Amino acid sequence: MTYGKDGVLGSDASEILINTAFKHDCDGAEMFMPALQIADLAWALALKKAGIDIKDELIQALIKLKTFPLNPEYGDIYNSKNVALKKLTPNSKNLHINRPRREAINIAFYLKLKDTLVDFSNALKSLANVFIETAQKHKNTIMPDFTYLQHAQPTTFGHYILTFLFPILRDFERIELLYSHLNKSVAGSGSVNGCTFEIDRDYLAKLLDMQEVEYHSRDAMWRSDLPIEAIYIINSVMANLARITDELQIFATAEFEMVKLPASLSRASVIMPNKQNPYALTYIRGVSNEMLGKISSYVAYEKIISGNPDSRTFVYADLIRSFQKAKGAIELLGAVLKEMEINKKILEQRVKNSFLYATDIAEWLIKHKNFTYEDAHNEVGRVIRYMRENNIPPKEIKKEFFNVDIPELEKIIDPYESVKRKKTKGGVGDIENLIQKADSKIKSFELKKGNFSFLKSELEGMGYGTELTT
């Protein structure tokens, strides 16, 4: 049964169309049923307010029809629901006045996406709190910092781990912006250029628990930039997570031995009984790579000539699933961070058996001996080269190696003193303020799902039940 069979088409859909395009459009569409119920009820009330003949029996049927069979023979979720609705009441025909299927499905998609974004954000907020806990626990755990994976300067594991928290704080801002865009109602846009009937779009927005109306009716129906914005946010989050998983995988190797990953989040080798494979980390990285591939697809969908359904039909279920999959990866990383062990002894040994103090000595020479930067750099570099050529361990550095007296050498090369000296804003010596600022930002970040209290109160005031699925 194809919508339009009794009108312009005069024919049911062919089997090949049903088994390809229509089957695709129905795949995963059940996730939108609760939101479509909200969209339909809001529209019915808006039509009623505009003086359209909307029977009480139709509204009661919409409240009752929480789920229904999805049949590709009917084309999509909208037509499938229409078939089910007609079985409950003969008075459903006016529900289609001034509203294309595109609007109904788009609203269901946006409502579902908004709730999914809240779930995703809550998972990200929980991960942010794990970073805070880890940083607080290891704010004094000394470790070598790296550039090019080469030893650089002394730092603490607490300061290091916050490297991956602050991008999340910026992601919060990006998420809040997307949420504000999703909080604009597209309802009442008509087919493309507005409604002939006096539809109150502000009333509709309130029924749908939206902040305001998306004003331009034609833009409202497509908003091709929003899926790109959404998939970018997933990628921004996942790229950051992939970065830390890469580093943790390296730190967990026998060559580094800096962290020990939990056995419960690892996988054993089938053939090598000695191996504990960091499977959780590789899965998170794999999700990141999968999401990266979607960016090109989403941009391709959205640059399609306006007014075409393939800018949406390939995005609906896929974007929701992408957020859900990324949410799982976020939660998995949180579990890894909570349960992994930091090898403090190894970290301290690596610091003390390395030339990480080189910059500290050079800066002391600049500050206390009036060396130029270049002269200080060359003097310290010369001493380190001499020690390496003569196989002298870093911890056996002596004042006599220098061409200038350095009475405070022992204190200068102490890694714990080194980190204390980095007191500028955001430095390792400023970690308490870093944690405080991050924690404040995390606590202030909160998104809420729609509760549709106004819709429920309107239905109740008109004498209808309010047992909605959302």
- Write down how long the chain is: 470
Q: Could you state, in order of their start, the residue ranges of all structural domains in the chain?
A: 15-101+452-461, 103-143+155-343+440-444, 351-436
- Which stretches of the chain drop beneath a pLDDT of 50? none
- Residue 65 tokens read as 């029809």
CB 192 within 8 A of CB 26: no
Query: What is the pLDDT at residue 307?
Result: 85
Task: Quote the CA–CA distance of 466 and 63 in Å, as a whole number.
Answer: 8
- HSE, CB side, 13 Å, CA atoms: give it for residue 371: 21
Label the pairing between strands 184-185 and 212-213: parallel
Specify burial of residue 167 (Cβ count, 10 A radius: 0-12, 13-18, 19+): middle
- Smallest CA-to-CA distance from 193 within 211, 208, 215, 224 is with 215
Architecture of domain 351-436: Orthogonal Bundle (1.10)
**Token pair for residue 367?**
């500050």
How wide is the angle at C-alpha 152 spanned by C-alphas 151 and 157, nearest 5°? 85
Q: How many CA atoms lie within 13 A of 259 on its CB side?
A: 24
C-beta separation of 149 from 355 below 8 A: no
pLDDT, tens digit (0-9, with 9 covering 90-100), for 276-316: 999 999 999 999 999 999 999 999 998 999 889 898 999 99
Does the pTM surpass 0.85? The reply is yes
Assign domain 103-143+155-343+440-444 one CATH number from 1.20.200.10, 3.40.50.720, 3.90.1170.50, 3.90.230.10.
1.20.200.10
Angle between helices 279-302 and 225-251 (to 10 degrees): 160
**What's the pLDDT score for residue 468?**
67
Instruction: Specify the pLDDT at position 272.
Output: 94
- SS3 of the chain: CCCCCCCCCCCCCCHHHHHHHHHHHHCCHHHHHHHHHHHHHHHHHHHHHCCCCCCHHHHHHHHHCCCCCCCHHHCCHHHHHHHHHHHHCCCCHHHHCCCCHHHHHHHHHHHHHHHHHHHHHHHHHHHHHHHHHHHHHCCCCEEEEEECCEEEEEEEHHHHHHHHCHHHHHHHHHHHHHHHHHCEECCCCECCCECCCCCCHHHHHHHCCCCEECCCHHHHCCCCHHHHHHHHHHHHHHHHHHHHHHHHHHHCCCCCCCEECCHHHCEECCCCCCCEECHHHHHHHHHHHHHHHHHHHHHHHHCCCCCCHHHCCCCHHHHHHHHHHHHHHHHHHHHHHHHCEECHHHHHHHHHCCCCCHHHHHHHHHHHCCCCHHHHHHHHHHHHHHHHHCCCCHHHCCHHHCCCCCCCHHHHCCHHHHHHHCCCCCCHHHHHHHHHHHHHHHHHCCCCCCCCHHHHHHHHHCCCCCCCCC
